[in-house]
Amino acid sequence: MPQPLTEPPRLDSGTLRIIPLGGIGEIGRNMTVFEIDGKLLVVDCGVLFPEETQPGVDLILPDFEPIRHRLDDIVAIVLTHGHEDHIGAVPYLLKLRGDIPLIGSTLTLALIEAKLTEHRIAPLTLQVSEGDREKLGPFDVEFVAVNHSIPDALAVMVRTEAGSVLHTGDFKMDQLPLDGRLTDLRAFARLGEEGVDLFMVDSTNADVPGFTPREADIGPVLDQIIHRAPRRVIVASFASHIHRVQQVIDAAVASDRRIALVGRSMVRNMGIAKELGYLKIPAGYLIDAKKAPDVADDKILYMSTGSQGEPMAGLSRMANSEHPTIDIGPGDTVILASSLIPGNENAVYRVINGLIDLGANVVHKANAKVHVSGHAAAGELLYCYNIVKPAQVMPIHGEARHLRANADIAMESGVPADSTLVGENGSVVDMTGGVATITGQLDIGFVYVDGSTVGTITDADLKDRRTLAEEGFISIFLAIDAQTGEIIVGPEIHARGFAPDDAVFDDVRPALVKALEEAARNGTRDTHAFGQVVRRTVGRWVNTQHRRRPMIVPVVIEA
């Protein structure tokens, strides 16, 4: 349940304050702020992708408002890994203060630097690796290797005089990872023996029993599907899922197919991964997408964006027959090598249906083992709790059901119920002497990126957009005599998305004229007041006769 808004107490010297500004109660826009002795440390700064109920929105950012007046106090932004829901909002924070140092692993910094180049921002960066330890103002930060669906992911141990916090970032415990980089359970055990006062733990798969399947199990399935495909193969995945792209490339090479990357972010990220040695492609197999139509259909594979049904991504455009170079047809094989982010289900199934209607064979997680999650399931989480033995736990990164499931696992492992802190975005957690308590709740909102505007679109604007999309639009124009209130012109009624013929309004015109004349007799002369009469009269008629609630816009001028 949402916490009531309560102003947190004044922060005493030597007390650590932790405020999640995103990522709790949702899958995305992960961002946590740590504060002690007047200095701030930010861990992750990601975006959330919009749902269908947020039409026109490109991205959703964390709410920076609680730290907007404290930007000069930020000592660094620590990035746990390179996924968009952890780094995507960094450009928007750096536009407020451009010299905040960014700290992360090799690949993470390479991905964010490429993104910042597009925003014309040259960042200050510090590259770190697992085992490194950095002093950042009053924060002593150690980095721990964790396994995830992208290379170079890190957990973060934050030590302060008030206590220690181990933040996992996103992780799982694949025992045979593709890159050989295991989650460092020895380091987790060492930190547990030292004493972890608060364990902030990824909750995404906490409601999934057992252990997350191995990435290595996916390769043979992809090999078989791609080898048997009679014509073109199109694989859609996250543009940052380097491990999955590597598996697809290996399968394509084994079937002697050339590989073309589709989508700006896919081209950019895989170019970076290849340059840094995280992605290996034999010479001659990667070709420019513009040259792909010249390759025989049974010798080409497209690696595309759009696995979440994003309207402008490559796969959606293919499903809508709007892609400039790829026309899906019978015999083509489309593989969705990703999981569904909650909220994207309708968009993804709409794409799947569109591809099937065009004759494609669509393979996805529901009918073949073409994807495994990058997050620890319940068995792995329990394993970690038993290794770390934290004094207190705060589930992060997940919707309400994930957070509660994670809290239940922590309690099963022996963490007392009153030491398991289930918060939400804006919860204020204060730690003194190693003991953390929720002491307040800030009002945290959504910050929408809409085209070139940031934060100017409100929930009311989105409600108007939904009304326009679902109920239609009616405009009513009239001119009145400023002295008498007499109607000189109109009312002229026009609609969009409501009725096929404006003649439907012939029924309401007499009632509208009567209501306006009555208002004039009663002394109404103000155009705004006449507009309210118009809105009430037409709105009542539409609701009664048509059971609809369109947007009604009266335009009244003085003649």
Pull the structure tokens for residue 202. Answer: 């990824």
pLDDT for res 495 = 76
Is 91 inside any structural domain?
yes
Same domain, 347 and 393: no
Q: Is the pLDDT of residue 468 over 60?
A: no
Q: Is the pLDDT of residue 496 over 80?
A: no
d(CA 117, CA 99): 15
Same domain, 357 and 381: no
Give the pLDDT mean for 26-44.
Answer: 95
Same domain, 233 and 349: yes
Q: What is the CATH number for 275?
A: 3.40.50.10710
Is 11 inside any structural domain?
no
Same domain, 132 and 200: yes
pLDDT for res 536 = 81
Q: What is the CATH number for 50?
A: 3.60.15.10
Q: Residue 510 is part of which domain span?
A: 472-558
Q: Is the pLDDT of residue 419 over 90?
A: yes
Pull the structure tokens for residue 126. Answer: 């510090």
For a pLDDT cut of 90, what percent of the chain falls above it?
Answer: 57
Is 274 inside any structural domain?
yes
Same domain, 192 and 221: no
Q: Is the pLDDT of residue 557 over 90?
A: no
Give the pLDDT mean for 124-132.
Answer: 96
Q: Which residues have a Cβ under 8 Å from the Cβ of 461 and sit 6 or more positions away?
A: none
Same domain, 116 and 257: no
Pull the structure tokens for residue 9. Answer: 């107490």
Q: Which of 363, 387, 420 is the last residue of a domain?
A: 363
pTM of the model: 0.82
Please list the residues that pair with 137 across neighbouring strands.
Answer: none
Same domain, 228 and 306: yes
Query: Can you say whether residue 523 is alpha, beta or left, with left for phi > 0 and alpha for psi between -120 and 50 degrees?
Result: left
Q: What is the CATH number for 505?
A: 3.10.20.580
Pull the structure tokens for residue 78. Answer: 């620590």
Check if the beta carbon of residue 47 is closer than 8 Å to that of residue 84.
yes
pLDDT for res 526 = 72
pLDDT for res 186 = 96
Same domain, 21 and 142: yes
pLDDT for res 83 = 92
Same domain, 230 and 258: yes
Number of domains in the chain: 3
Give the pLDDT mean for 515-538.
Answer: 76
What band does 145 get if pLDDT is binned at 50, 70 and 90?
very high
Residue 26 to residues 341, 376, 411, Cα–Cα distance (Å) = 10, 17, 22
Same domain, 358 and 277: yes
Same domain, 234 and 258: yes
Q: What mean pLDDT value characterizes the chain?
A: 87
Same domain, 520 and 394: no
